[in-house]
Amino acid sequence: MRTLSIFKTVSALAAASVVAVIASGGKASAITFNLGGPAQLNPGSITQSGIQLTSTASATPRQNFTVVEVNAFRTNNGLGILTDTNDPSFADNNQIDGLRAIETLTLTFNQAVSLTSVTFTSISNGLLGNDNFTFLNNGSVVFSNQNIPGGNASDTGTSIFNSFTPSQGTGTSFGFRAGQINDDFFISSVEVTATAVPEPITIAGMAMGSAFGVVLRRKYKKAAKLSAKMSS
């Protein structure tokens, strides 16, 4: 009976240790991508904690304007969009805006993530109203003309938007579009969470726990047989 009690106790401890290792290896961690920096075209990809983010830009031209080149454009304020057309009178800033073309910045990740927050810069609440944005998940519009709080009359405000529901903010591709003609902004950073892949120690711990249980079970069976022989 004592052998059985020891076996149960040790097995329980081994199982508990494996569960603890699994729990510690599967926690979600917050990852922040800072998108500002020296001015350059086509900033490409950024990798943080094994998660890769790639930025792309697109634009839907208005009548009489033909888009010939669209680039994601990095400034110290964050990522914007620079649109070139074949019209020499066309003038575009490097923000995400809707003045001459409806511009969309798309951030694509190499694995599914949950979008926690987005930081907008150059936010206005001037005479033409507050800046708004339209949000897309995997190319589909989730909500339109969402007010970006925190603007000011000098168009230099900063705002953190973190009101995404799990269904809205989970995926691999997120788009940000100017809500209306008078809206313009940069995206300076995004924060996401991803479930970590179990580390090798987790797998090793599971194997150790399983092997340890098999050895104890064999020893218990041998002890039980020996006890039965002695009692007979």
| Backbone angles phi and psi of 80, in degrees to 5 | -135, -160
Based on the domain organization, do 108 and 20 belong to the same domain? no
Query: Is residue 93 pLDDT above 70, yes or no?
Result: yes
1 pLDDT above the threshold of 90 = no
Average pLDDT, rounded, for the chain: 79
63: domain CATH number? Answer: 2.60.120
Domain identity same for 158 and 216: no
Residue range 146-177, pLDDT digits in tens: 999 888 888 899 999 999 999 999 999 999 99
User: Does 155 lie in the same domain as 131?
Assistant: yes
Does the pLDDT at position 104 exceed 80?
A: yes
Predicted confidence band at 41 (pLDDT cuts at 50, 70, 90)?
confident
pLDDT of residue 46: 93
What are the pLDDT digits (tens) for 61-72?
A: 776 677 778 899
Helix (H) or strand (E) holding 169: helix 166-169
Phi then psi for residue 63, to 5 deg, are: -60, 135
What does the alpha-carbon distance between residue 209 and residue 61 come to, in Å, rounded to a whole number? 62
- 60 and 152 belong to one structural domain: yes
The DSSP result for 29-49, as a single string, is EEEEEE---S-EE---EEEET
Question: CB under 8 Å, gap of 24 or more: what pairs does 93-97 form?
Answer: 93/184, 95/122, 95/184, 95/185, 95/186, 96/133, 96/176, 96/177, 96/178, 96/184, 96/185, 96/186, 96/187, 97/178, 97/183, 97/184, 97/185
Are 166 and 222 in the same domain? no
180, 211: one domain = no
The answer on pLDDT for 33 being more than 90 is yes
pLDDT at 100 over 50: yes
Please give the pLDDT value at position 6: 45
> In this predicted structure, what is the pLDDT of residue 129?
74
Do 122 and 210 lie in one domain? The reply is no
Same domain, 189 and 205: no
Tens digits of per-residue pLDDT, 127-144?
A: 767 899 999 999 999 999
Residues 16-20 have a mean pLDDT of 44
Question: Which domain, by its residues, includes 215?
Answer: 2-24+198-231
pLDDT recorded at residue 23? 43
Q: Is the dihedral angle over the CA atoms 210, 195, 34, 50 positive or is it negative?
A: positive
> Does the structure show a pLDDT above 80 at 120?
yes
pLDDT digits (tens, 9 = 90+) for 175-215: 999 988 889 999 999 999 985 554 454 444 444 445 545 44
Domain count, the chain: 2
Whether the predicted pLDDT of 112 surpasses 60? yes
pLDDT, residue 113, reads: 97
> Is 39 found in the same domain as 8?
no
> pTM of the entire structure?
0.73
Instruction: Say whether both 55 and 113 belong to one domain.
Output: yes
The pLDDT-based confidence of 15 (bands split at 50, 70, 90) is very low
Q: Are residues 208 and 171 in the same domain?
A: no
Tell whether 88 and 116 lie within a shared domain. Answer: yes
